[in-house]
Amino acid sequence: MKKRYKKILTCLLTCIMLFSLLVISPAAVISAKAAPAVSNKKACWISFLDIEVLLKDKNEKDFRNKVSEMYDNVIKYGMNTVIVHVRALGDAMYPSDYYPWASYFITDRTNPGYDPLQIMLDLAHQKNLKFEAWINPYRLSRDSESTASFKATPYYELFRPFTIEYKASAKQTCLVLDPAKQETRDLITNGVKEIVSKYDVDGIHFDDYFYVSGMADNLNIETKKANVNALVSQVYKAIKAIKPDCTFGISPAGNPDNARKQGADIDTWLSTPGYIDYIMPQIYWSDIYVTSKGAEQMFTNRCTAWQKINKQDLPIYVGLALYQVGAKSKTDLGWATSDTNLAYQYLTAKQLGYDGYALFRYQWLEKDIATQELNHLKDY
């Protein structure tokens, strides 16, 4: 009986989700038609977390083979873009004049004897995939272990005058470049210029790590925004001076209010030229989300909120939570009750005027639990 009840509930919830998609307002459909004429981006984030597990400490041949296999999986599920973490922790997945080698790629931070970024870029283009270089601009470490690793490099003393050391969750010691310092902005910009001038990347991509909790909690939101804006505009100008057709996009936290609190001035970026070419909010909730007020269409509501502030009508892509597939939650019920969440979310976003999506993150492409969700997404 329990299994039968579960099947009935799953079918019912799926029907509700698909029905709600069909009754989206006419205004939303008009918005979709008015969206910029851009290619339908279907991207996969390849995080440093994926790299650490799948690509670390490999010789060149094994590295090439595994990257090629990963890209084939991306293509298998109908995607056309990879967003690859090339600098996650004040480091580099390539020979850099500004940063040490990434410890998540090579344990002892020594030159592996080949250029992993060039190989990943070349293989992507050979397979007709767009390649965006993903950077965490400020973060130097994420816990006490990675902090100790970075402090063991000569770059720690070099960056120390414009570095903040703070306590994160679980009392972990972390390092971050101080967004208020011009030295920070120049270092990050020089690193971006290095990538754009040496590699034929299709884009530069920043994610949502700006002013995270603990690093500068005494600053007000407007000051945080001003500091981040100074970097974003400087990077944008630097990219366009080298390669005008190289895109610069940012993927902020999916809750607009949280994004603002972290110093992401999303209202300015989406209303004023000279900051970004696209926005990709991380909307990692389903449409069956239980709050104290009852069930809420969290995904749709957040998508709508982002589109409302997109005054420039810039390309807007939705970050989807592939990693949540099958997850059991007391509040976010959709993931465990349906295997059509991603397809439904893609269709919903498209109706609201979104120009594509990105999936976080690659490793779930290789997990059996995600197969049905991915196949449904591909079919749509």
| CATH code of the domain containing 109 | 3.20.20.80
Ramachandran sector of residue 275 (left: φ over 0; alpha: ψ -120 to 50; beta: rest):
alpha
Residue 25 has pLDDT above 70, yes or no: no
**Is the same domain home to 131 and 144?**
no
Q: What's the mean per-residue pLDDT of the chain?
A: 91
**Is the same domain home to 268 and 375?**
yes
Burial 125-153 (b: 16+ CB within 10 A, else e): eeeebbbbbbbbbbbbbbeeebbebbbeb
Residue 16 has pLDDT above 50, yes or no: no
Please identify, among 178, 208, 231, the residue that sits at the C-terminal boundary of a domain. 178
> Is 5 part of a structural domain of the chain?
no
> Is 355 part of a structural domain of the chain?
yes
**Is the same domain home to 149 and 108?**
no
- Name the band, by pLDDT with cuts 50, 70 and 90, for residue 39: low
Give the whole-angstrom CA distance, residue 365 versus residue 380: 17
Q: What is the mean pLDDT of residues 287-304?
A: 94
Share of the chain above pLDDT 90, in %: 88
**Is the same domain home to 158 and 292?**
no
> Is 97 part of a structural domain of the chain?
yes
**Is the same domain home to 229 and 358?**
yes
What tens digit of pLDDT does each residue of 224-271 get?
999 999 999 999 999 999 999 999 999 999 999 999 999 999 999 999
**Is the same domain home to 223 and 320?**
yes
> Tell me, what's the pLDDT at 380?
80
> Is 96 part of a structural domain of the chain?
yes
**Is the same domain home to 131 and 93?**
yes
Domain that holds residue 357: 41-138+182-379
> Is 27 part of a structural domain of the chain?
no
Q: Tokens 């390092």 correspond to what residue?
A: 175
- The letter for the amino acid at 243 is K
Give the whole-angstrom CA distance, residue 80 versus residue 72: 11
> Is 23 part of a structural domain of the chain?
no
Residue 15 has pLDDT above 60, yes or no: no
> Tell me, what's the pLDDT at 170?
87
Q: What is the mean pLDDT of residues 142-158?
A: 97
**Is the same domain home to 165 and 225?**
no
Question: Into how many domains does the chain fold?
Answer: 2
Is residue 363 a contact partner of residue 63, using CB atoms and an 8 Å limit?
no
- Name the band, by pLDDT with cuts 50, 70 and 90, for residue 169: confident
> Is 244 part of a structural domain of the chain?
yes
User: What would the two tokens of residue 214 be?
Assistant: 């603990």
**Is the same domain home to 170 and 301?**
no
**Exposed / middle / buried, residue 81 (Cβ in 10 Å: 0-12, 13-18, 19+):** buried
Beta-bridge mates of residue 175: 165
**Is the same domain home to 174 and 77?**
no
> Is 28 part of a structural domain of the chain?
no
More confident residue, 229 or 7: 229
Peptide bond preceding 64 in cis form (omega within 30 of 0)? no
User: What would the two tokens of residue 7 be?
Assistant: 């099947």
> Tell me, what's the pLDDT at 17?
44
pTM to 2 decimal places: 0.90
Burial 355-367 (b: 16+ CB within 10 A, else e): bbbbbbbbbbbee
Range with the lowest mean pLDDT among 18-22, 151-155, 172-176, 232-236?
18-22
Is residue 94 a contact partner of residue 115, using CB atoms and an 8 Å limit?
yes
**Is the same domain home to 267 and 202?**
yes
**Is the same domain home to 200 and 229?**
yes
